[in-house]
Amino acid sequence: MRLEDVMQRQAAPKVMALEFPPLDTRATSVSGLAKFRVELVSNWKLAAARWNVSGSGTSFQHRHWLDAWYGAFTSVSPLIAIISDAVTDRKIALVPLIRRVQNGIGVVEFPDLNLTDYNAPILTAAAPSDAVGARALCHALLNALRACPERADLLRMQKMPAQIGGRPNPFMLLGRVGSCSLNGNLIEVGEDFAAYRATIKRMQLPRSWRVFSRYPGANFRIVTDADEALKLLDIMDGQQRARMQALGLEFNLNDASRGRFYRDLVGRGIADGFAVVSALTCDDAVVATVLGIRQGRNFIFLRISNAGRRWSHCSPSRLVIERTMEALHRDGVRQFDLSVGNYAFKRRFGAVSLPLTDVSIALGWRGIAHVLRDRTAQRLRRYPRLAACVLRLLGRPSARDNL
C-alpha cells in the first residue's frame, strides 16, 4: 500500500514554465471596458448547467469527479466562478471553488480537502494564452471574490499544473512554478510495454508474478461491474485501515463524506471507464487492489491496498500497479500517473516529476498574515535540508519508500 496516498488524502508530458511578467495589482481594463465578466454560482449543478460548453481540464475536473465531490462534501459552500468575455458573452473558464471558514477566516479554495491531486480551471479554446489576457482574467476573478457577499479573506489555489490540456494555466501568473510541496509523477510508456518493463527490471516484477501465480486461483482482473467494484472498495478500506492502525495512524478515507465520495465516483464512473478498479485475487482472497481514474490516454492511480505481511514476498502493491498498467496499455493508455508525493518507489517505476504551484492571495486584511505564512513556507522549500529539519522538529514524516 502507498502510505503517502492515504496520508495525503487524509490531511503531461514535460511541463513548460510560463514566462509571464509579475502580476500588476491594479485593476485591469481594456479600452475602458472590463474584458471579462465573472458570475459566482453557489450551486454546482446550476453552474454545470449554465456552463454547458466544451472545455479542457485535468482528470480531476471531469464531470464525474466534480459531481461526486460537491455531492459528498455538504459542510462547505460551493462557489463556482464562470468567466465569460464581457463583449461577446463567450465562455472562457469555469473555476470550481468552495468557501469555508477556518479559525474565523473565510477561505476560498479548490474543491480538494486532500482528495484532489491536480487543481485547475476548465478552459475553453477562447481562454487567453498571452500575458495581458491572463492578467486580466486573474484580476477579474480576484475582484469578483472581493465583492462576494459572503466574506472572503483568503484565496488559496494549491496543486496547480502549468498546462491544462496543452494550454497555459492563466492562474499560474499568480505564483511560482514548483512552489507546491507536492509534485506529480508521470510515466510515459511507448507502444511496446515489454520495452518499458525492461527499464524497471531491477524491481523483479516478473519474478513476483511467478511467485504469486503458484497460489490456487491466482488472477488479476479489472472489474467492470459497479456492484463488484463497490465490494472491492469495501475491502480496500479494510486493508488500508489495518495498515494505518499498524502504524499507529488514523484512517478516515471511509468516513461519512469521503466514503460517500469514493462510492459515488465509482458508481458514476465505472460504466464508461472513467473510474477503474482492479485486483489481484487468489480463490476468494483479495490480495491487492487499485482505484484510479482514466481520461483518454492518461490514467491516475488514486488508492492502492494489499492484504498485509503474509503476501509481502510477492510485492503485491507493486505487482498490482504493473499489472494494471499492462492491462490499460493494451486499451490505449500511454501516460500513467503515480499521484502526488515524491517517493523513491515512484522513481523505480520510471516516474518523472511534474512540478505544481501553490498560490495564496489576500482578499481582505484578515488574510494578510496567512499569505505571509504560506509564502514563508514556500521559500523554506527552496532549501531542502533546512525544510527537512523543520519537518522533523514538527514531527512530520519525510518521504520514504513504503511499497
Q: What is the DSSP string of 124-151?
A: -TTS--SHHHHHHHHHHHHHHHHT-SS-
Backbone angles phi, psi at 307, to 5 degrees: -85, 5
Assess contact for 217 and 282: CB atoms under 8 A: yes
Measured distance CA(205)–CA(184) in Å, rounded = 23
Measured distance CA(262)–CA(275) in Å, rounded = 10
Measured distance CA(63)–CA(74) in Å, rounded = 17
Backbone angles phi, psi at 150, to 5 degrees: -80, 130
By C-alpha distance, which of 10, 35, 139, 145 is closest to 90?
35
What pLDDT score was predicted for residue 1? 42
Q: Determine the straight-line distance between the first and last CA of the chain, rounded to whole angstroms.
A: 6
For residues 75-102, one letter each, b for 16 or more C-beta atoms within 10 angstroms of the residue's C-beta and e for the rest, the string is: ebebbbbbbbebeeeebbbbbbbbbeee
By C-alpha distance, which of 272, 259, 224 is closest to 71?
259
What pLDDT score was predicted for residue 381? 65
By C-alpha distance, which of 326, 335, 339, 305 is closest to 209?
326
Measured distance CA(36)–CA(132) in Å, rounded = 12
Domains of the chain: 3-181+354-394 (3.40.630.30), 190-333 (3.40.630.30)
What pLDDT score was predicted for residue 26? 33
With a cut of 70, which residues of the chain have pLDDT below it?
1-33, 381-403
Within a 10 A sphere around the Cβ of 316, how many other Cβ atoms? 24
What pLDDT score was predicted for residue 143? 95
Assess contact for 190 and 252: CB atoms under 8 A: no
